[in-house]
Amino acid sequence: MKEIAITLASLLAGALFSGCATRSASSRTADGKAAAPDSAPDTNWFSRAEWIGLDAAEAGKKPRYLRRDFDVGKISRAVLRVTAQGSVVPFLNGEKVADEYFTPGWSNYRKRLYYREYDVTDHLLQGANMVGAILGDGWFRGRVGTGRTNAYGSRTRVKMELVAYPKTGDPVRIATDASWTVATGPILSSDFQDGESYDARLEQPGWCQPGSATNGWRAVDVGRPDFEPTLVEPHPCGPVVVVAELPARTVEEPKPGVFVFDLGQNFAGIARLRVKAPAGTEVKLRFAEMLNADGTIYTANLRGIRAMDTYVCKGGDVEEWSPLFTFHGFRYVELTGLPGKPGADAVKGLALSTRMRRAGTFECSNPLVNQIYSNAWWSQLSNYIDVPTDCPQRNERLGWTGDAQVFARTALYNADAAAFLGKYVDALNDDQAGDGHYPDVAPTVMCGGSSPAWGDAGVFIPWEIFRLTGDLGPARRNWPKMKRYMDFLDRSAPEGAGPHRGYGDWLAYGPQPSKSLIFTAYNAQDCEIMRNLADALAKVAEGADEREAFKADSRRFAEKTKTLRDVFGKTFCSPTNDATVAGDAQTGYLLRLGFTAIHDGVTDARHAERLAKIVAERPQQMCGFVGVNLFLPVLSQIGRDDLAYQRLERTDFPGWGYSVAQGATTIWERWNSYMKGGKFGDAGMNSFNHYAYGSCVQWFYEGILGILPGAVGQPGVHPFSTVVIAPHPGGTLTWAKGSHECALGRIAVEWKIEADEFALTVELPKGVRGEIRLPGQTAVKVQTARKATYRCPASN
Ligand code: BGC
């Protein structure tokens, strides 16, 4: 069944609930302005439905099956709205309403609860119908982070309302209430980290079909939710869906009766089991990203979580099953418990991710670079499951702010990720601390806050969204809280230079700049971003007062940027003019040169020279999370594409190509998560699917292809309405091609080096202006043609 197309205004709208009282929805458009009132979603349904569930102690944490039968006559349209304190799969007349997972997503459920709305017109029958749901623990009360349970509450509840509009007469409303019945079923337990257990012998076929047996069903428990949410809103982005099916490539038997399936790709998702075995056969599936030397699965990096699905066969024909309320991070599946050897079709991988439009492509003449691109994309898919997470496999899977921030630009080129990241920005603001600092993970279930480069996600991500899509919504609706964060930074650094705190240049290989330097650089760039955002917001302000307020903000942040630039120079840049940035570490220079707020126009060239020297002369060193997204762009910016390509293409450690040479199919957490000869990195922190280092891909678009937004900062004008095309050929590449599809259409670039000629073909959407900058040429050509080729001597 199809999900109702939700208008932009409705996506941004919300209704406020206090207890069960509702206020009318307030709507905003993409630039944050008020929307027409009739475009607001119907959130009143939430107060018409009641919370229902099952509290019986003997049911434990088994997912609950809930249902209600009803009759309708001829209808013209029907809509189903669904939310939960837990994770819910809605059913109608024996079928899942949608192939979606983990509804209603992850948020701070106390402050903001999402719901989904489906058009179910085609699935209602004239006469008897049955609506139902299976309710699992989800993030609400299942294991999250390092093993915490009941993070939001101890009771699962669901709310639904089905509205059928007859051809004539009043709508028929079937909302959750005391008339629903509940039972437990074949799902015995389910948890993101533990996995799911299912006993097919307990199935009640047709449990959600009209007229099915009623024995074992009892009255639901009504009401008594752990709390009522403050805000109820339509979910702002796509659902979690199956984005790829991965058949097994090989099946090995490293020990008798232990079968290991290789799906050929690391990913986040579930396995679909297909077996034929006698009733009562218990099949166990365990999941891993890597193999030990003896061919068994490597699970040490899961840090002790169970990550196992169990299926008990009902016997008879071939049985097919996949879980509903869990996912794993894996490439290999271990299967035990089957009599006999399973065929390769016994296990198939189903990759899960938030549904979004793919917006980018990239390909070049070096297959290694293509694999890095693919690895970053798979790590994006794997970690974009409703919340941008650090990793999908171990007992963490949290919305780490630093990781999300450094990867945001890459993500926005790769996919239409603005709504997804906008939701994340709201989560960050919902969990802002009383003193104004942003948490390290959002939604916050553990860990502290205020680490430089992590907390700054609250400023950087709204900016990245605006910079690439023109959507000012996240900044506009969170502006007062963003300013509170800036006040917090002011209080933390009264002298200007920041305190030593946070995670530093996380997992750097070699020297790091001081935490105080990272703080100060980020604080300065935050100010620069806030000034740019304030300028843009002033242009769309409603009325003179608001406009003046934004202008005052802009002045405040402009002044503060200047102050911090001086502080940075005086504190961290050598007064003896020896051209070093304090610490003489890559990331110190990368911040200094990559953050426009701290350019001084005087020492920039000397620092550029020093950076190039240490990159060239210390090949054994590599920056960590804080420097990584700046590494390639800054080397390009200072005219050292040669060094950028060297690091990208090298297959020894530490370079981007190293993991690829070891067979990686996703981005690793560490530069050395796995070492030649079968040695694994420290299992305490060793994910093979961590996208932070995949942020190099922003340079594939903006550097190798050279696609850059040319109209940033003008609300109402799309940032790509002027496109700068400035490719940086280099390394071993003889050609590269790729594209970015923005709201205006597809921007495509292809370049080739043939004999002595560099040929660049550019295709732009209708009406988009292009500024073509051929390598080494100062002349800028402006063109409006839809597709054209430009040439220059390759030696340039
Ligand atoms: C996460 C990282 C995160 C870091 C903070 C780790 O446990 O996996 O990706 O950014 O903690 O230092």
Residue 573 to residue 570: CA distance in whole angstroms: 6
pLDDT for 780 equals: 67
> Coil, helix or strand for 113?
strand
C-alpha distance from residue 25 to each of 20, 37, 769 (Å): 14, 8, 39
Phi, psi of 297 (to 5 degrees): -80, 145
Of the listed ranges 113-122, 367-376, 473-482, 574-583, the one predicted with least confidence? 574-583
pLDDT for 785 equals: 65
CB atoms within 10 A of CB 190: 24
Is 692:624 a contact under the CB 8 Å cutoff? no
Which residue lies with its CA nearest to atom 8 of ligand 1?
390
pLDDT for 495 equals: 85
- 390 C-alpha to ligand 1 centroid (Å): 7
pLDDT for 18 equals: 27
pLDDT, one tens digit per residue, over 725-762 is: 999 999 999 999 999 999 999 999 999 999 899 999 99
Q: Which atom of ligand 1 is nearest to the CA of 692?
A: 9
Instruction: Determine the residue of 301, 389, 403 to mutate for testing ligand 1's pocket, defined as the one with the most ligand atoms within 8 A of the Cβ atom.
Output: 403
Which structure tokens are listed for 94? 């024996």
**Among 444, 465, 481, which Cα is nearest to 107's?**
444
pLDDT for 602 equals: 79
pLDDT for 677 equals: 77
pLDDT for 115 equals: 98
Give the alpha-carbon dihedral of 380, 466, 721, 525, to 10 degrees: -100
pLDDT band at 776 (very low <50, low <70, confident <90, very high): confident
pLDDT band at 447 (very low <50, low <70, confident <90, very high): confident
**Residues in a beta bridge with 222:** 52
Please report where in the chains the tokens 């932009």 appear, as a residue: 8
Compute the average pLDDT of residues 52-72.
Answer: 95
- 441 C-alpha to ligand 1 centroid (Å): 9
Instruction: Determine the residue of 393, 400, 626, 688 to mutate for testing ligand 1's pocket, defined as the one with the most ligand atoms within 8 A of the Cβ atom.
Output: 400
pLDDT, one tens digit per residue, over 5-42 is: 333 333 333 332 222 222 223 333 333 333 333 456 77
For residue 443, whether the previous peptide bond is cis, meaning omega lies within 30 degrees of 0, is yes
- 400 C-alpha to ligand 1 centroid (Å): 7
**Residues in a beta bridge with 363:** 737
Which residue lies with its CA nearest to atom 9 of ligand 1?
390
Instruction: Determine the residue of 144, 303, 390 to mutate for testing ligand 1's pocket, defined as the one with the most ligand atoms within 8 A of the Cβ atom.
Output: 390
CB atoms within 10 A of CB 145: 16
pLDDT band at 380 (very low <50, low <70, confident <90, very high): very high
Q: Which atom of ligand 1 is nearest to the CA of 390?
A: 9
- 113 C-alpha to ligand 1 centroid (Å): 26
Residue 375 to residue 697: CA distance in whole angstroms: 10
- 164 C-alpha to ligand 1 centroid (Å): 47
Q: Which atom of ligand 1 is nearest to the CA of 687?
A: 8
Q: Which residues contact 663 (CB under 8 A, 6 or more apart)?
A: none
Which residue lies with its CA nearest to atom 5 of ligand 1?
503
Please identify which of the residues 669, 702, 741, 750 carries the catalytic annotation. Answer: 669
- 222 C-alpha to ligand 1 centroid (Å): 40
Is 42:115 a contact under the CB 8 Å cutoff? no
pLDDT for 513 equals: 97
Q: Which atom of ligand 1 is nearest to the CA of 440?
A: 5
Residue 769 to residue 724: CA distance in whole angstroms: 9
pLDDT for 426 equals: 98
pLDDT for 30 equals: 36
Q: Which atom of ligand 1 is nearest to the CA of 690?
A: 9
pLDDT band at 553 (very low <50, low <70, confident <90, very high): very high
Which structure tokens are listed for 630? 């700046």
Please report where in the chains the tokens 């907390």 appear, as a residue: 455
The yes-or-no verdict on residue 544 having pLDDT over 80 is yes
Q: Which residues contact 387 (CB under 8 A, 6 or more apart)?
A: 105, 106, 398, 399, 424, 427, 442, 443
Please identify which of the residues 396, 464, 649, 741 carries the catalytic annotation. Answer: 396
pLDDT, one tens digit per residue, over 139-165 is: 999 999 988 899 999 999 999 999 999
Mean pLDDT of the chain: 92
Q: Which atom of ligand 1 is nearest to the CA of 401?
A: 10
> Coil, helix or strand for 608?
helix
**Residues in a beta bridge with 271:** 349
Residue 612 to residue 607: CA distance in whole angstroms: 9
**Among 455, 475, 388, which Cα is nearest to 424's?**
388
559 as an active site residue: the answer is no
245 as an active site residue: the answer is no
The yes-or-no verdict on residue 777 having pLDDT over 80 is no
Lining ligand 1 with CB less than 6 A are 390-391, 396, 400, 402-403, 503, 506, 690
86: left (phi over 0), alpha (psi -120 to 50) or beta: left
Phi, psi of 246 (to 5 degrees): -120, 100
The yes-or-no verdict on residue 563 having pLDDT over 60 is yes
Amino acid type, 660: V
Which structure tokens are listed for 698? 């922003």
Alpha helices for 447-582 (secondary structure H): 457-469, 473-492, 515-539, 544-572
The yes-or-no verdict on residue 106 having pLDDT over 90 is yes
- 404 C-alpha to ligand 1 centroid (Å): 11
Q: What is the pTM of this model?
A: 0.94
